[in-house]
Structure 1
Amino acid sequence: MILSTLKGTASRVKSASLVWQNWLSFIAGLAMVFAYAPYSQWWLSFAALTCWGTLVHGQSPKLAAVRSYFFGLGWFGAGISWVHVSIDQFGGLPLIASLGLMALLCAYLALFPALASYLSARCSTSRQLNLLLFPSIWLLTEWLRGWVLTGFPWLSIGYSQLNSPLASLAPIIGEVGISFIMLVIVTSALTLYFKQQVKLAGALLTSCVLGILVSQQLTFVKPSGEKKSVALVQGNIAQELKWAPEQEWPSMLKYLDLTRANYDADLIVWPESAIPKIEPLAGEFLDMADSAAALNNTAIITGIINYNFESKEYFNSLIVLGKESATDTSGSYFYPNANRFYKHHLLPIGEFVPFQEWLRPIAPFFNLPMSSFTRGNYIQSNLKANGLSITPLICFEIAFPEQLHANFKADTDMLLTVSNDAWFGTSHGPHQHMEIAQMRALEFGRPLVRSTNTGVTAAVDHQGQFIARIPQFEEQVLKADVALVKGYTPFSRYQRYPTYILATLLFLLIIGVTRKTKI
């Protein structure tokens, strides 16, 4: 009787302990949000990952997956809570339904860290999670997260290191490489703490530290001595007014009025879909803006929706008005000229609706304005504007470095991204979006300009640091001088392949060691 009672008590204590460890994983995931913009406490990602690693170390595949799933729920629940803002304010759904959709998205994304932990434990000879296996497998599951269902690579852990000592690795191995090195550092340190595979863990940790120190001494691109002045126009038009028919001309004239005092800039940029009228029907206004820009010896790049009446297709596009080349001072725009960019990586629900025949009748959320776009080509020509060669990406595309790599040219002078983050209100989403853009500038070693409807509008140098930015939710124009550069970063040439090769070699090495040591 007493023995039975003691066993029952021990079982309950063990069960309670497991529950608390799951909640600790969840809290560690929640803390990750403060490592990203706008908080930018980069050290917190190391602290959170260390807490998580301690909780999953030596666990069975099932327990490791469960704890990592709770970590993922906290990580994404706090990190992408801004998605709820767009669903709640513009989706036309009851609060309970919008929260349910948000929870469903987080539950889906949390599957990927859980899968990484499960596979890390399964691949171990002892069938208990070997932390040193985790970095390589994490890269595989993060690649899946960026590919499955068109991909959602938001909040990759390397973005949290934009202002840390690891930032010097970005031009060499990119954000994905930083993520890998972060995990190697954390798992090696924990393996040393647990006194397992001490020599190997020590060698890995030492190699990472030396690699970071060496990378800080390397320079791949240098200023060319040439500067270009840019004017980035932030119209601050409320999302609920943006597509109202009676607001078409007031919105377009606002951008023209804000531009009028800034024609002395070499390049003027308006945000994504700044012109709330389809391009074939906006000829009168476009001719006016084109003539004004050409007359003042400058160029305007603007977002606009193009509609092909023959194919009945919509395209989220960028076009160039005014001075296209260094020798052409006349108006260069005509419809449909080739100096344009069509967005390729469309945002699910916002720009296309999968299974639309079933989802669209359910709620306004699945029938948002302009949610039936057609993809542009994956590889497109650079935009040419006033003698500049510019590699553009629209909104969500900036989160996909492989697409930027595919369109990055030998003569690219500048990176450009435009967006309309009014959907996400005062949340931290627009700041995370800006942080991602900064990482692209650092990886590819090119200055970047970003024009948005409500912010964050900014100019960034080739090191990913702000040249200038303006406050959110203000009608304002950012003026800045952007220094052009020459040279190429290793990442702009080889992209993610060196990191994947390194991760594969490390995985094979750890597998070989664990077979001998039975760990």
Structure 2
Amino acid sequence: MIRPFLAVIFGAIAPLAFAPYSYWPIIFLSVTGLLILLRDRPPKNAAWLCFLWGVAYFGVGISWVHVSIDTFGGVPRIVSFALMLLLSCYLAIYPALFGWVLNRWFSQNTTFRLLLIAPVLWLCNEWLRGWVFTGFPWLWIGYSQVDTPFAQYAPIGGVEAISFIIIICSGAVANSILKKQLRWLIFPVLFWSLGSLLNAQSWVTPDNTTKTSFALIQGNIDQAKKWLPGERWPTIIKYTDLTQENWDANIIIWPEAAVPAFEYELPGFLTSLDHAARQKHSSIVTGILNQSETGKFYNSILTMGAGQKAPYSLNLKDRYHKHHLLPFGEFVPFETLLRPLAPLFNLPMSSFTAGSYIQPNLSVNGRHFVSALCYEIAFGEQVRENVTNETDFILTLSNDAWFGHSIGPFQHMEIARMRALELGKPLIRVTNNGITAITNAKGQVIKQLPQFKTAVLRATIESTKGKTPYYRFGSWPLYGLSALILLSACLISRKNSKRSDKWL
């Protein structure tokens, strides 16, 4: 029982490596411990150990999901915890698959399997989790290193490259412990040193011609009251008043679904707001909900004011529509079966339609923004493929009020910072109640508002020129290398197996 117990402990402490705790060495301790536990275990036993690690890892790491289920799901608390456990068990299947494959086909040659095979299989494990059933790429282990020298590998190969390196380093430490040979510790030392040197590398340079003043409005609207009919106009007036106090900004940005109404319900207000912004030579960006003529619902971003080609009109073709929808929060898989079962599967705003994967950048007062609404910022490849040569800034609007005083918003901000680092573009993040912030092109926070406070973040920033290797090629070179390593390992394993059969 010692190994299963340790697997749970190693999994439970791993989330401490992420925001808001940011004890980044813990992820190395956790993964190293897991790799040591897998030594000489049968495949099924290895899968079970990794499954227990995963249940503890996700049970602690995404415990914030429980807040939204408990508060807005309309189910008893015991059911909320049960659903949280069920989600953790599902996500734990991926590390379990990692353990099973590693010990099923690569049980021999400790050094080779820990330093090459384990990183490749872990990369596959995280990729699958970020793709199956639309994907849930939360808590990819690379995000834990956003404030360390390992973060400097992100502009080269994305967060996946950092995950890959973490497993190599952890494997090297595990191998050093198992073989009692200190020489393998050279790998983490080399990767750390190279990351430190890369910190001086400037993949992009500042572009002084793009200097822009921003006013980011954090309304701090109570999520439980936001959609009550009597709260519509008080909310709209609150955002309007804060906007009128900041007309001197080039661009004023409201958060996701800041307007608690469908766009077609407010043509007069939006026309007046657009007219006022034009007069003040300012632009407004806001999250808003839309309904098409065919009855489809969209979570959208609307731009108004100076720089727009024409005065405001209800034209859904000129909006950004969220592509990557949150399962159960914005759409319900197998909804004909699940919706009748419980109020949880019938949450407000859970019937959205996905926008296109590739959409034009938002053009706002002469600046171009690649957009990501809330959960979408976790999909690095989607953000990368929407960046163009004209892109000035990364824009993400969110409403993390669903997750209360939990660790979720901090993890969300950490993920957003990684996108800026990967692409070499400043990131602008506007939320309802935090965390509203601006980062530079290296993912470092320049300014940030406190949570749960009505406030306006004012900043003047400039974009960058140039392209990071990740922007040019994405993570595909890393995946190509991984495929080559895996293929070579399979051929070697097969050759050794035939040689053994011959001697037998």
Q: TM-score range by the shorter chain?
A: over 0.9
Match of 2:90 among 91, 108, 111: 108
Between the two proteins, what is the percent identity of the paired residues?
Answer: 45
* 2:229 is the counterpart of 1:245: yes
Q: Indicate the SS of the match to 2:264.
A: helix
Amino acid at match of 1:143: W
Cα RMSD of the aligned pairs, angstroms, is: 2.2
CA distance in 2, matches of 1:406, 1:212: 26
Q: Is the contact between residue 443 and residue 492 of structure 1 (CA under 8 Å) also seen in structure 2?
A: yes
CA distance in 1, matches of 2:63, 2:153: 29
Bigger Cα displacement from structure 2, 394-403 vs 202-211:
202-211
The aligned counterpart of 2:289 is: 305
Match of 1:448 among 420, 423, 427: 427
Bigger Cα displacement from structure 2, 78-87 vs 498-507:
498-507
Q: Is the contact between residue 57 and residue 130 of structure 1 (CA under 8 Å) also seen in structure 2?
A: no
Q: Indicate the SS of the match to 2:179.
A: coil
Q: 1:60-83: CA deviations, max 9, x gaps?
A: 211211111111111101000000
Q: Is the contact between residue 383 and residue 392 of structure 1 (CA under 8 Å) also seen in structure 2?
A: yes
Q: Is the contact between residue 107 and residue 113 of structure 2 (CA under 8 Å) also seen in structure 1?
A: no
Q: Is the contact between residue 150 and residue 192 of structure 2 (CA under 8 Å) also seen in structure 1?
A: no
Q: Is the contact between residue 323 and residue 332 of structure 1 (CA under 8 Å) also seen in structure 2?
A: no
CA distance in 1, matches of 2:127, 2:83: 24
Bigger Cα displacement from structure 2, 123-132 vs 247-256:
123-132
Bigger Cα displacement from structure 2, 507-516 vs 398-407:
507-516
The aligned counterpart of 1:4 is: none
CA distance in 2, matches of 1:205, 1:229: 42
Bigger Cα displacement from structure 2, 215-224 vs 115-124:
215-224
* 2:479 is the counterpart of 1:495: no
Offset, 1:89: 0.7
* 2:241 is the counterpart of 1:257: yes
CA distance in 2, matches of 1:256, 1:213: 46
Q: Is the contact between residue 88 and residue 95 of structure 1 (CA under 8 Å) also seen in structure 2?
A: yes
Q: 1:87-141: CA deviations, max 9, x gaps?
A: 0011010111111100000000011011011101112164999423211011112
Q: Indicate the SS of the match to 2:353.
A: coil
* 1:436-475 correspondence runs (5 A): 436-475=415-454
Q: Is the contact between residue 171 and residue 444 of structure 1 (CA under 8 Å) also seen in structure 2?
A: yes
How many residues align? The count is: 495
CA distance in 2, matches of 1:289, 1:450: 22
Q: Which runs of 5+ in 1 are unaligned?
A: 1-18
The aligned counterpart of 1:317 is: 300
Give the TM-score normalised by the residue count of structure 2.
Answer: 0.93
The aligned counterpart of 2:203 is: 220
CA distance in 1, matches of 2:444, 2:175: 35
* 1:130-279 correspondence runs (5 A): 130-132=113-115, 133-195=117-179, 208-209=191-192, 211-226=194-209, 227-279=211-263
Q: Indicate the SS of the match to 1:32.
A: helix
Offset, 1:337: 5.8
Give the TM-score normalised by the residue count of structure 1.
Answer: 0.91
CA distance in 2, matches of 1:490, 1:454: 35
Q: Indicate the SS of the match to 2:214.
A: strand
Q: Is the contact between residue 382 and residue 392 of structure 1 (CA under 8 Å) also seen in structure 2?
A: yes
Offset, 1:198: 9.6
Offset, 1:502: 2.4
Q: 1:427-469: CA deviations, max 9, x gaps?
A: 0001100110000010010001111111111111110011101
The aligned counterpart of 1:27 is: 9
CA distance in 2, matches of 1:311, 1:430: 34
Match of 1:379 among 358, 362, 366: 358
CA distance in 2, matches of 1:350, 1:209: 39
Match of 1:390 among 369, 375, 395: 369
Bigger Cα displacement from structure 2, 362-371 vs 384-393:
362-371
Amino acid at match of 1:318: I
Match of 1:399 among 373, 378, 385: 378
Q: Indicate the SS of the match to 1:272.
A: coil
* 2:55 is the counterpart of 1:73: yes
Q: Is the contact between residue 149 and residue 192 of structure 2 (CA under 8 Å) also seen in structure 1?
A: no
Amino acid at match of 1:426: H
Offset, 1:511: 4.9
Q: Is the contact between residue 38 and residue 431 of structure 1 (CA under 8 Å) also seen in structure 2?
A: yes
Offset, 1:293: 1.2
CA distance in 1, matches of 2:408, 2:266: 31
Q: Is the contact between residue 205 and residue 465 of structure 2 (CA under 8 Å) also seen in structure 1?
A: yes
Offset, 1:322: 0.4
